[in-house]
Chain A
Amino acid sequence: MEELDGDPAVTLIPGVNSKKKQMCFDWGPGEMLVCETSFNKKEKSKLVPNCPFIFIIRKDEDVYSQILRKLFNESHGIFVGLQRIEEELTGKSRKAQLVRVSKNYRSVIRACMEEMHQVAIAAKDPASGRQFSSQVSILSAMELIWNLCEILFIEVAPAGPLLLHLLDWVRLHVCEVDSLSADVLGSENPSKHESFWNLVTILVLQGRLDEARQMLSKEADTSPTSAGMCRTLGDLMRTMPILSPGNTQTLTELELKWQHWHEECERHLQDGTFTSSPHLETLCKIMLGDEAALLEQKELLNNWYHFLVTRLLYSHPTVKPMDLHLYAQSSLDLFLGGESSPEPLDNILMAAFEFDIHQVIKECSIALSNWWFVAHLTDLLDHCKLLQSHNLYFGSNMREFLLLEYASGLFAHHSLWQLGVDYFDYCPELGRVSLELHIERIPLNTEQKALKVLRICEQRQMTEQVRSICKILAMKAVRNNRLGSALSWSIRAKDAAFATLVSDRFLMDYCDRGCFSDLDLIDNLGPAMMLSDRLTFLGKYREFHRLYGEKRFVDAASLLLSLMTSQIAPRSFWMTLLTDALPLLEQKQVIFSAEQTYELMRCLEDLTAGRPVRGEPDAQRLQDDDIETTKVEMLRLALARNLARAIIREGSLEGS
């Protein structure tokens, strides 16, 4: 076992005094049951009243957020799409596709974040407002990390474009500048606005030099004294060489031009061009990548990674991916200045700059309160073929492990379980068994839900689960006295034993009431009748009744006889069948032939001979036996009379 990465968080359960009381617990798939025990070490005699509750403790509470549900549902579609693009694409188009998928994931996070933000603003009580706001910051951190991973691991931008991507990344996540800009430009005299210089500085820090120039021209218009300086600085901004996506110039050319430009800036500073305006001088220092000048703008930079990107922009614009971590580490150290220690988010970003994917995922798993992020990010990175070498000392590989955790969390949820199915499907090693274990535990309150679960199982040839679900439904139906339904379910499950049981219930009902229920089903059994002998008998016996009802006596008689001679009819039912033969024997015309009559007689004798001799008869049994004896007597008489008539008829027919 590896050492722990952090102290496990303590969850306090309201109402339970764990100091005085022993607690017991039981694991569930995504949650835990906790209650107090009555066990007491010290004072065995004294009874302290127990806490009367059993608590359910949920590990992954984010699953229960209404807004995050949208994230789960929408990203499910993206996830399934990603698994399908697999393999068919290679090289460039594959990379483009993966970047597109990554952007889709991010836009879902963003949509969620925006909605959460709206709700946080609209929240009526401050507590829930705070809760939503903290969710917003978590989502925003997730998007920040994801975006960086996208640039470094999926896009794999080379030196040059790398910085452009990083600039976009910072601009996207430090977005207060837009509202500030609107505020300043909306005022009567922008250059006299109290935040004017802050705005210009931020624009320069983010490398938005065109906008910064426009601002400076406003300043130039209003104060003629500094107009010349503004123009000079504006020219420096305009001439800064940058790599544009469509440009064909090589990195060396760019570096050369940039060096020239840098020297020119340096010269202006040396010459004291801007000495009369401290604001402009600071801007020029920033554009020279002066670390001290940059660190003075800590407030405006917000965080160390903004500092890192600005620093790279103005001192190492062609930074190579390999060297990133050096600058990142020093930027973090400089920015924090030993005053505070890095937070989890800083560690995660640092790990990303170090290209240590596993560290990123590990830190995220610890820091974030749900599995959604790591599961989806890991899966995406796995599709970029970045994770193959890593195997865990438990279960299967990391991608699968995280997906299983996430999917199990979904299955613990009352209604998100359907999403979990697809995640299990794409876990080649343990997905199937996990699904089998989870799917059986879905409560089935309506047949419609049961049908949905059944469809999931049938599509995956999970025969064992199909049988068990059908059996549950059949049992339920029997308990509710819905024999037709019960029979349908056992036919669907191909469960012969249960079909026999239900058929017996039908026959019992018939014996009690003298008529069949649920004819619509029994008359339409078709080939399903062959499922069990008893079911065949039920169907055939009902057919006998139909033939009899249609007055097709000869057909009815031979069917009745064949039920007994072929041993389909259970012994216990023979007496009923023979009694059913009585009216046929008593018909005016002869229905049973002599041979058939002999068969019937043999059946009757078999039945009576096989009866065990009982000891000590009581009154009730005597009476029963009495009825039985009368029946047998009547049958014998009828059979004998029929035999006589049949012999005469057959003899005379043959004679004639």
Chain B
Amino acid sequence: MGEIYAKFVSQKISKTRWRPVPPGSLQTAETFATGSWDNEENYVSLWSIGDFGNLDSDGGFEGDHQLLCDIRHHGDVMDLQFFDQERIVAASSTGCVTIFLHHPNNQTLSVNQQWTTAHYHTGPGSPSYSSAPCTGIVCDNPEIVTVGEDGRINLFRADHKEAVRTINNADSSTLHAVTFLRTPEILTVNSIGQLKIWDFRQQGNEPSQILSLTGDRVPLHCVDRHPSQQHVVATGGQDGMLSIWDVRQGTMPVSLLKAHEAEMWEVHFHPSNPDHLFTCSEDGSLWHWDASTDVPEKSSLFHQGGRTSTFLSHSISNQANVQQSLISSWLSTDTTKDRIEITSLLPSRTLSVNSLDVLGPCLVCGTDAEAIYVTRQLFV
């Protein structure tokens, strides 16, 4: 991996997200958003890692990220997602969900849309109103799904003032994260180790499927779906374990991988290179999981087989090979442990790494030690 740049930013970073590059464009990621938490004043900020001609001469600034603009955010930023190129959705510990709009002309952020009481314990109408933190959001233009400590699931549309759909008491415990499985199905993880699939086509407040870790009820903190194989899901738990699930079969994880020493806060498949997975944790580590290491070996075996054997066996081996590559490399349980190569990406352990995001060859992560780390050469 290439150089990793650190910058101290005087605020604890809870979330980091790359701005998506326009579809079909060849440019690499160069703008990312961050959210802060636990400060007296919290901010949503946009940063650029683009080249600044005037600073390059100094040498030291090359690769460093510069603040483009920021805006006050009421409460801790609990989650952050890009809705599209210009809009960012932020979840707040006050139960509020806000869409911020970026104006590239004068480099400012403004509030575009806000649902102030998206998550609450006691209703907004009542005198004893008490809000609940919104813990997770997921966007799929035009829809936004939010979950919270109140166990509620909301479905918003960017152009609607009210929630399109709300599932009250969807979960008896805290919902920690949410992701789309295949529209209109979503997947949530909660604090008692359950993974629930919800189908918005169904009325009622029951999930269509519940999967869970056995026995220990270890809370799950994050979830990500394989970008191309929609049934493959990765989750990270309080004990730092990485679990891989096949939601088509069984109610238990396909594999459990011992990973970090404390809470795994985020897990991400690489969007275009899904044999690579990234995790970060409260123990201050950031890991790169590479399940593709056997690929060159496999193809060379295949070539050997092709040369030495008859046409028939060739075609068989070919077929087997195709099938194997169709089964995600994350699901073949027996050999998983031997085949995955893990590298630690941060030079030294720091305080908790709260969030990470990958896009193309770029990775960004943010820590409680108030530093943002960026690398632009993940696969060197």
Spell out A's residues near B (CB within 8 Å).
Answer: 66-67, 69-70, 73-74, 76-77, 81, 414-415, 418-419, 445-449, 451-452, 455, 459, 480-485, 488, 491, 517-521, 524, 526-528
Quick one: which of A74, A414, A481, A519 contacts B121, CB cutoff 8 A? A481
A64's nearest neighbour on chain B, judged by CB, is B40
A442's nearest neighbour on chain B, judged by CB, is B38
Bound state CA distance, A276 and B346, in angstroms?
Answer: 65
B203 within 8 A of A: no
Which of B166-174, B299-307, B310-318 is found at the contact surface with chain A? B166-174
B368's nearest neighbour on chain A, judged by CB, is A418
Known: A480-B121, A480-B130. A520 touches B194 (CB 8 A): yes
B10 within 8 A of A: yes
Beta-carbon contact of B173 and A485 below 8 Å: yes
The digit string for B24-66, where 1 denotes a CB below 8 A from any CB of A, is 0000000000000111100000000000000000000000000
Beta-carbon contact of A520 and B369 below 8 Å: no
Beta-carbon contact of A526 and B216 below 8 Å: yes
The digit string for B346-368, where 1 denotes a CB below 8 A from any CB of A, is 00101110000000000000001
Beta-carbon contact of A524 and B217 below 8 Å: yes
Given contacts A482-B150, A483-B172, A485-B172, 15 further A-B contacts (CB under 8 A): A70-B8, A73-B371, A74-B8, A77-B369, A415-B38, A415-B39, A418-B352, A419-B351, A445-B93, A448-B133, A452-B368, A484-B172, A484-B192, A485-B174, A524-B217
**A/B interface sample: 27 pairs, CB < 8 A:** A70-B9, A70-B10, A73-B370, A415-B11, A418-B352, A445-B133, A446-B76, A446-B78, A447-B135, A448-B133, A449-B37, A451-B263, A452-B368, A455-B282, A480-B121, A482-B172, A482-B173, A488-B173, A488-B192, A488-B217, A517-B172, A520-B171, A520-B172, A520-B173, A520-B192, A521-B172, A521-B192
Q: Which residues of A contact B371 (CB under 8 A)?
A: 73
Bound state CA distance, A67 and B169, in angstroms?
Answer: 44
B118 within 8 A of A: no
B262 within 8 A of A: yes
Beta-carbon contact of B40 and A414 below 8 Å: yes
B204 within 8 A of A: no
Q: Which residues of B contact A70 (CB under 8 A)?
A: 8-10, 370
Q: Which residues of A contact B9 (CB under 8 A)?
A: 70
Q: Which residues of B contact A448 (CB under 8 A)?
A: 76, 78, 133, 135
Bound state CA distance, A526 and B212, in angstroms?
Answer: 12
Beta-carbon contact of B215 and A527 below 8 Å: yes
Q: Which residues of B contact A67 (CB under 8 A)?
A: 10
A521's nearest neighbour on chain B, judged by CB, is B172
- The A-contacting residues of B in range 63-120, CB under 8 angstroms, are 76, 78, 93
The digit string for B154-175, where 1 denotes a CB below 8 A from any CB of A, is 0000000000000001011110
B210 within 8 A of A: yes
Beta-carbon contact of A524 and B194 below 8 Å: yes
Known: A81-B348, A455-B282. A69 touches B370 (CB 8 A): yes
Bound state CA distance, A483 and B10, in angstroms?
Answer: 38
Tell me how far the C-beta of A179 lies from the nearest C-beta in chain B, rounded to whole angstroms: 17
A522's nearest neighbour on chain B, judged by CB, is B172
Quick one: which of A77, A414, A451, A526 contacts B39, CB cutoff 8 A? A414
Beta-carbon contact of A77 and B194 below 8 Å: no
Q: Which residues of A contact B149 (CB under 8 A)?
A: 446-447, 482, 485
- The A-contacting residues of B in range 200-225, CB under 8 angstroms, are 210, 212, 215-217
B191 within 8 A of A: yes
Bound state CA distance, A485 and B172, in angstroms?
Answer: 6
B19 within 8 A of A: no
Tell me how far the C-beta of A320 lies from the nearest C-beta in chain B, rounded to whole angstroms: 39
Spell out B's residues near A (CB within 8 Å).
Answer: 8-12, 37-40, 76, 78, 93, 121-122, 130, 132-133, 135, 149-151, 169, 171-174, 191-192, 194, 196, 210, 212, 215-217, 238, 262-263, 282, 348, 350-352, 368-371
A449's nearest neighbour on chain B, judged by CB, is B38
B38's nearest neighbour on chain A, judged by CB, is A415
Beta-carbon contact of B263 and A455 below 8 Å: yes
Q: Is the interface of A mostly helix, strand, loop or mixed?
A: helix
Beta-carbon contact of A480 and B122 below 8 Å: yes
Q: Which residues of B contact A521 (CB under 8 A)?
A: 172-173, 192
Quick one: which of B40, B196, B352 contacts A452, CB cutoff 8 A? B352
B196's nearest neighbour on chain A, judged by CB, is A520
Bound state CA distance, A18 and B122, in angstroms?
Answer: 46
Beta-carbon contact of A73 and B369 below 8 Å: yes
A-B contact count (CB 8 A): 117
Q: Which residues of A contact B135 (CB under 8 A)?
A: 447-448
Q: Which residues of B contact A455 (CB under 8 A)?
A: 262-263, 282
Bound state CA distance, A491 and B173, in angstroms?
Answer: 13
* Residue in B132, B172, B174 with the greatest tally of chain A CB atoms within 10 Å: B172
Beta-carbon contact of A526 and B215 below 8 Å: yes
Tell me how far the C-beta of B193 lies from the nearest C-beta in chain A, rounded to whole angstroms: 8
Tell me how far the C-beta of B66 lies from the nearest C-beta in chain A, rounded to whole angstroms: 13
Tell me how far the C-beta of B29 lies from the nearest C-beta in chain A, rounded to whole angstroms: 25
Bound state CA distance, A520 and B198, in angstroms?
Answer: 14
Q: Which residues of B contact A482 (CB under 8 A)?
A: 121, 149-151, 172-173
Q: Which residues of A contact B37 (CB under 8 A)?
A: 449
Q: Which residues of A contact B368 (CB under 8 A)?
A: 418, 452
Tell me how far the C-beta of A505 lies from the nearest C-beta in chain B, rounded to whole angstroms: 13
B265's nearest neighbour on chain A, judged by CB, is A448
Tell me how far the C-beta of A410 lies from the nearest C-beta in chain B, rounded to whole angstroms: 12
Bound state CA distance, A70 and B370, in angstroms?
Answer: 8
Beta-carbon contact of A77 and B348 below 8 Å: yes
Beta-carbon contact of A418 and B10 below 8 Å: no
Q: Which residues of A contact B262 (CB under 8 A)?
A: 455, 459
Quick one: which of B40, B132, B192 contacts A524, CB cutoff 8 A? B192
Beta-carbon contact of A484 and B78 below 8 Å: no
Bound state CA distance, A448 and B78, in angstroms?
Answer: 9
Bound state CA distance, A481 and B130, in angstroms?
Answer: 11
Bound state CA distance, A67 and B11, in angstroms?
Answer: 10
* Residue in A73, A459, A491, A519 with the greatest tally of chain B CB atoms within 10 Å: A73
A71's nearest neighbour on chain B, judged by CB, is B8
Q: Which residues of B contact A524 (CB under 8 A)?
A: 192, 194, 212, 217
Bound state CA distance, A81 and B132, in angstroms?
Answer: 39
B40's nearest neighbour on chain A, judged by CB, is A414
Q: Which residues of B contact A528 (CB under 8 A)?
A: 217
Tell me how far the C-beta of B369 lies from the nearest C-beta in chain A, rounded to whole angstroms: 5
Beta-carbon contact of B151 and A484 below 8 Å: yes
Beta-carbon contact of A446 and B370 below 8 Å: no
Q: Which residues of B contact A484 (CB under 8 A)?
A: 151, 171-173, 192
Quick one: which of B40, B150, B172, B216 contacts A415, CB cutoff 8 A? B40
Tell me how far the C-beta of A119 lies from the nearest C-beta in chain B, rounded to whole angstroms: 12
Q: Which residues of A contact B38 (CB under 8 A)?
A: 414-415, 449
Q: Which residues of B contact A73 (CB under 8 A)?
A: 8, 369-371
Per CB-CB distance, the 5 closest pairs between chain A and chain B, nearest first, are A484-B172, A518-B172, A480-B121, A70-B8, A69-B10
Beta-carbon contact of A480 and B172 below 8 Å: no
Bound state CA distance, A446 and B91, in angstroms?
Answer: 13
A528's nearest neighbour on chain B, judged by CB, is B217
Q: Which residues of B contact A481 (CB under 8 A)?
A: 121-122
Quick one: which of A81, A446, A452 contacts B93, CB cutoff 8 A? A446
